[in-house]
Structure 1
Amino acid sequence: MRHLTFDDAVSALRRGRVVDQLIEIAPAYGTTVIRYVSVTPTKEGSFDVSLIERFDEGRPDFLDVYAFSYVDPDPPHGSTENFLAPGEALAYAQNELGCSSDKFVNEGVIQDEYRDRKFG
């Protein structure tokens, strides 16, 4: 099972795991951009929700979304909000950033999402 349920995503975050969701691959800035959300546990016990934009530099033999260049090269490479509870972080991602409750994936699986959407 690739996608996490809301409860599975909350559980993963509580265990210190990162969860991601690919939002779109779309034209922007005169090229194609990948937008995804990453929810990351912090050392302090809170949860960062980041909307990240990267240039679409992929091809069938190069799918590592995390290696693509950032649209904004200066840290933090996108907008980030912080929440005290994992459920609050995921709810924000859904309500404000357009995520689906049942489309989060574990870190590293976003490449499969990208491959399926981009190259079918």
Structure 2
Amino acid sequence: MRYLPEAFIIGALKRGRPVEQFLGPVGAPDRLGVRYVEVRPTQASYEVHVHTAEDVGHERFSDLVEFPPLDADEDEEEFGRLVATAEDPSTALAAAEEATGAVRSRWVNESMVQDEYGDFVRAGRPADRSPDGHP
């Protein structure tokens, strides 16, 4: 089971574990990138971060955290843009979905977003749908 049911998403966040979602391609044809969103628990809240990386991967290299930022001016230590903060997991998920277009049924555990990227690469990097056919 790759995608987490909502109860598992909330449970992971309450246990201090981030959840992520692959959002797909971004950028111009001459400089392709990919985006993913992360909901990250902190001591007092839940933060929503959007990561935009240069699409430098292939079937054997899909570790998105190793990809360079798409924006060359972005400081590597600040990779990922904070887009929302919430006091509870449900509100954080709703904020992530509103800010990024994420879908409730497609959240995965931390680091599983690499598998999503791998599927994207194997599907030929489609611009209009997810590798499993969803928009």
Same fold (TM over 0.5): yes
Q: How many residues align?
A: 119
The answer as to whether partners of 1:21 and 1:99 remain within 8 angstroms in 2 is yes
Unaligned runs of 5+ in 1: none
1:61 equivalent to 2:64? Answer no
1:3-22 alignment to 2 at 5 Å?
A: 3-22=3-22
What is aligned with 2:28? Answer: 28
- Which of 100, 104, 108 aligns to 2:107? It is 104
1:75-90 alignment to 2 at 5 Å?
A: 75-80=77-82, 81-90=84-93
Percent identity, aligned pairs only, is 34
Unaligned runs of 5+ in 2: 124-135
Q: Could you say what secondary structure the match of 1:71 adopts?
A: coil
The answer as to whether partners of 1:36 and 1:52 remain within 8 angstroms in 2 is yes
C-alpha displacement of 1:22? 0.4
C-alpha displacement of 1:29? 7.7
User: Aligned partner of 1:10: which letter?
Assistant: I
C-alpha displacement of 1:84? 0.8
User: Aligned partner of 1:16: which letter?
Assistant: G
1:105-120 alignment to 2 at 5 Å?
A: 105-120=108-123
What is aligned with 2:37? Answer: 37
Deviations 1:7-64 (A, max 9, x none): 211111001101000011234383111101011111x231110111000110111111
Larger deviation, residues 48-57 vs 66-75: 66-75
CA distance in 1, matches of 2:86, 2:68: 27
User: Aligned partner of 2:108: which letter?
Assistant: V
Q: Could you say what secondary structure the match of 2:70 adopts?
A: coil
Q: CA RMSD in A?
A: 1.5
1:91 equivalent to 2:94? Answer yes
Larger deviation, residues 49-58 vs 26-35: 26-35
